[in-house]
Amino acid sequence: MAMICKRLFFFVFLFISFNHMQAQKGIIPEPYTVLLQEGNFSFSPRTIVSFNAEVLADEVVVFNDFLIKYYGISLKTYSKVPPPNAVYLKLDKSLQGEAYQLEIKSTQILITGTETGIFRGLMTLFQLLPADFNGTANLPCLLIQDAPRFAWRGMHLDVCRHFFPKEDVMKYIDYLAMYKMNTFHWHLTDDQGWRIEIKKYPELTSIGGWRKGTLIGHASDETQKTDTARYGGFYTQDEVKEIVDYAAKRHITVVPEIEMPGHSLAAVTSYPWLSCKKASDGVATGWGVFENVFCTSDSVFTFLENVLDEITPLFPGEYIHIGGDECPKVNWKTCPVCQTRIKELNLKSEEELQSWFIQRVEKHINSKGKKIIGWDEILEGGLAPNAAVMSWRGMESGVEAAKQKHFVVMTPVSHCYFDYYQGNPAAEPLAIGGYTPLAKVYDFEPVPAELNAEEAKYILGAQANLWTEYIGDFSHVGYMLFPRLLALSEVLWSPAVQRDYVSFRSRLLTQFDRLDRFKINYARSIFEIKKTVVSDTIKRQLSVELSQEFQQGDIYYTLDGTTPSTTSMIYAKPFSVLSDCELKATVFDKDGKEKGKTSQTFSVSKSSGASIKLTYPPSPYYNYGSPYTLVDGILGRIPWNGKEWLGFSDNDFEAVIDLGKSETVSSVKVDVLKAEISWIYMPEHMTVSLSSDGKDFYVANDWSLQNDPEAGRTIGVVIKPSTARYVKVNLKKFGEIPTGKPGAGNGAWLFVGEIIVN
């Protein structure tokens, strides 16, 4: 009898565990706890929502709006004692902030919390409805207790490079609400357009809201082309109020960004007296950083204060974002007004002048009951007393600000730039560059390990940024946002100890079904065939491994550039690449339907598969497959992505390649990247040295950018045929970025893709 009871308990446990997993299957971000109970609740159009109409009317209206918009049903409401078959919303102030409890019983669904918590619970209930919901669903009885990890869970949208009408912005806010994000960072002014009505300065939108054309192709293209179509748009203050109210009803705070002192060309074009030059260059038609910025005259501050006096009442949130990034100081250095400021204030530099600029603006914003937040450049020259920092160039500035007891929002370019590629660039829409795949977003940890417990309290949370230089329509916005938004939402909401990428991927499939049902465009790069190139230093060969994150069928491949079919070679184990070839691979399911693919061109040289050592490590943000990515036979792609390049910011480059045996060496080439819009420059100098023992090297030849100013992406030297086993390559990094270029005054980056020895 005891054995029978044990077996019965075991099978009940398996059943509960299975249903527990099924209950969580579609929920992203993952709740704090989910406890399965017996039974089901029948959810249908006959279900009633019971609530206190005096305080929860907005939450119910929005929930019904989601049901109507995505499933075509609406629930009746009831404001008295909840009847059977009801969703009962009950305020419980003991659950603070955004915490909520959701209990599904066979006769009732109970959601408790504050108004915000109840809304988050309603979004969980919305996700529990199956993707194929057709009006009725049996929801498993369960108890969810949930609360967010971080207070700031944000997404940014740039509407300056490309403009999105009110209706699109509202859709964007819906997407954030669906996945429990609570902050919408609205980038409203930049060089390419001023997008918000300011009644005191109407020409900000009548002139600054429009440009005479838009860049065609990529900003790193050697030849720049621009169309001649007038482009622009702006939001009236009434539209802004409508959008802010729309977000508030979804418990999302809107943080406006009004850029200063740089990225202000649209404003300066509208009113040329705002600049040191007192002249207009026109609203920018291309991308980058421009020198014509706000002056530091009193009239400029009067202008900014008047603008902010109209801005602050429109946005009830705590923060106003003032930009503060990428401000060239070249005009300040020659401007009599700015130089007089520096002398009168006993400042040491133009960087300190910018700090004074930000602090003066902060005082005015503080007087309006608001606080400022800015990009991490506002740390330079001294941080304004009450400012919060968005750390974008890495995590280091966020660490510095937190140690100074300033609040921080982490948004590092390494993990949180959703304008970067998320898959194979050959199969993706044109993007600015970089590589931020789904798994990397999910791996993001907003609290740096170097902060102690007290300092970590200053990390408000994190957000991702969606810059729109190459995003011209809202369908493309969806593609860049999804599924990475889902990964970020789980990073910011769920407990760190619960984070499990395997579990997340399984729940993601349900979300894909939902996105399909909702007709939301999303990237399918996670279904691509993943290729891993391993340098076999013993055999001195390149070994290629193919894999799938989701097993959808068998992989078929070719090495001659032809399109694979089900009669091509079937992948069974890693294979060697011994000569130049073009790999193409496709997954076919059991019905012969194509489910995913990849392609890659290999250029094999004597260094391919060789052992390589780097003297100085690359930046941790651009360090995929280091150092073997330099000898894997794959040239870096342009437009660039981080996957095929190693990036160096602090040190020059030095690599020693061991060819395994003495070889005749007659040329050494290096695949380097020039993308000045991204602060990436050609090296100034290259030296190639040879050795037979790895200890005593002699210089074989060198190359200079000064002697070859038109050098392309591959630089190199021809050597008198020499016998050597070891090849050392030194690249001297370009120095400070010159005036007039994006990132002027900062150190240039060096990106290396491949070293080719023949």
- Residue 598 sits in a domain of what CATH number? 2.60.40
Where helices occur in 451-601 by DSSP H, the ranges are 453-456, 474-481, 484-493, 501-517
pLDDT at position 3 is 40
pLDDT at 710 over 90: no
Mean pLDDT, all residues of the chain? 93
**Per annotation, catalytic residue among 325, 326, 469, 528:** 326
- CB-CB neighbours of 438 under 10 Å: 23
How distant, in Å, are the alpha carbons of 264, 413, 621 from that of 392?
20, 6, 12
Domain contains 337: no
Q: Which long-range contacts (CB under 8 A, 24 or more apart) does 353-357 make?
A: 353/296, 353/329, 353/381, 354/261, 354/324, 354/327, 354/329, 354/378, 354/380, 354/381, 355/380, 355/381, 355/382, 355/383, 355/384, 356/296, 356/381, 357/260, 357/261, 357/294, 357/296
CATH code of residue 703: 2.60.120.260
Domain contains 341: no
pLDDT at 81 over 60: yes
298 in active site: no
Taking only the tens place, the pLDDT of each residue in 371-393 is 999 999 999 988 989 999 999 99
pLDDT at 22 over 80: no
pLDDT at 445 over 70: yes
pLDDT at 185 over 60: yes
Measure the CA–CA gap between 467 and 432, rounded to whole angstroms. 9
Domain contains 8: no
pLDDT at position 7 is 38
| pLDDT band with cut points at 50, 70 and 90 for residue 25 | low
326 in active site: yes
- Angle separating helix axes 350-367 and 336-344, nearest 10 degrees: 80
Taking only the tens place, the pLDDT of each residue in 209-248 is 999 999 999 988 878 899 999 999 999 999 999 999 999 9
Taking only the tens place, the pLDDT of each residue in 266-294 is 999 999 999 999 998 899 999 989 999 99
Do 740 and 624 reside in the same domain of the chain? yes
Percent of the chain whose predicted confidence (pLDDT) is above 70: 96
Closest CA to 714 of 757, 661, 656, 743: 757
pLDDT at position 623 is 86
- CB-CB neighbours of 298 under 10 Å: 10
Q: Per-residue pLDDT averaged across 462-474, rounded?
A: 98
How distant, in Å, are the alpha carbons of 15, 23, 34, 505, 567 from that of 10?
9, 20, 20, 27, 47
Q: Per-residue pLDDT averaged across 54-78, rounded?
A: 95
CATH code of residue 244: 3.20.20.80
Q: What is the reported pTM?
A: 0.91
The structure tokens 């207070």 sit at 151
Do 628 and 739 reside in the same domain of the chain? yes
Do 532 and 641 reside in the same domain of the chain? no
CATH code of residue 96: 3.30.379.10
pLDDT at position 638 is 74
- Cross-strand bridge partners of residue 320: 372
Closest CA to 104 of 179, 29, 178, 34: 34
Choose the final residue of a domain: 102, 119, 146.
146
**Per annotation, catalytic residue among 190, 257, 528, 754:** 190
92 in active site: no
How distant, in Å, are the alpha carbons of 271, 322, 378, 408, 496 from that of 374?
24, 5, 6, 10, 27
Do 486 and 628 reside in the same domain of the chain? no
Do 559 and 660 reside in the same domain of the chain? no
Do 140 and 220 reside in the same domain of the chain? no
Measure the CA–CA gap between 99 and 234, rounded to whole angstroms. 37
Half-sphere exposure of 143 (CA within 13 A, CB side): 3
pLDDT at position 24 is 53
What contacts 166, CB < 8 A, 6 or more positions away? 235, 239, 242, 243
- Cross-strand bridge partners of residue 187: 158, 257
**Per annotation, catalytic residue among 162, 185, 263, 415:** 263
Total domain count for the chain? Answer: 4
The size of the chain, in residues, is 758
Do 495 and 630 reside in the same domain of the chain? no
pLDDT at position 18 is 40
What contacts 450, CB < 8 A, 6 or more positions away? 399
Q: Per-residue pLDDT averaged across 423-447, rounded?
A: 93
Do 594 and 624 reside in the same domain of the chain? no
Q: Per-residue pLDDT averaged across 496-513, rounded?
A: 95
Choose the final residue of a domain: 496, 520, 544.
520
pLDDT at 6 over 80: no
Q: Per-residue pLDDT averaged across 631-642, rounded?
A: 81
pLDDT at position 4 is 38
Measure the CA–CA gap between 584 and 600, rounded to whole angstroms. 7
Do 315 and 395 reside in the same domain of the chain? yes
Report yes or no: 247 and 155 within 8 Å, Cβ to Cβ. Answer: no
**Structural domain of 653:** 611-757
Choose the final residue of a domain: 552, 573, 602.
602
pLDDT at position 622 is 86
pLDDT at position 270 is 98
Do 30 and 125 reside in the same domain of the chain? yes
Domain contains 5: no
pLDDT at position 746 is 84
Do 118 and 186 reside in the same domain of the chain? no
| pLDDT band with cut points at 50, 70 and 90 for residue 127 | very high
| pLDDT band with cut points at 50, 70 and 90 for residue 41 | very high
pLDDT at 13 over 50: no
Domain contains 653: yes
Domain contains 351: no
Domain contains 346: no
pLDDT at 11 over 60: no
- Cross-strand bridge partners of residue 599: 584
Taking only the tens place, the pLDDT of each residue in 555-581 is 999 999 999 999 999 999 999 999 999
Domain contains 681: yes
Three-point CA angle 137, 138, 143, nearest 5°: 120
Which H helix or E strand runs over 667?
strand 653-672
Do 406 and 555 reside in the same domain of the chain? no
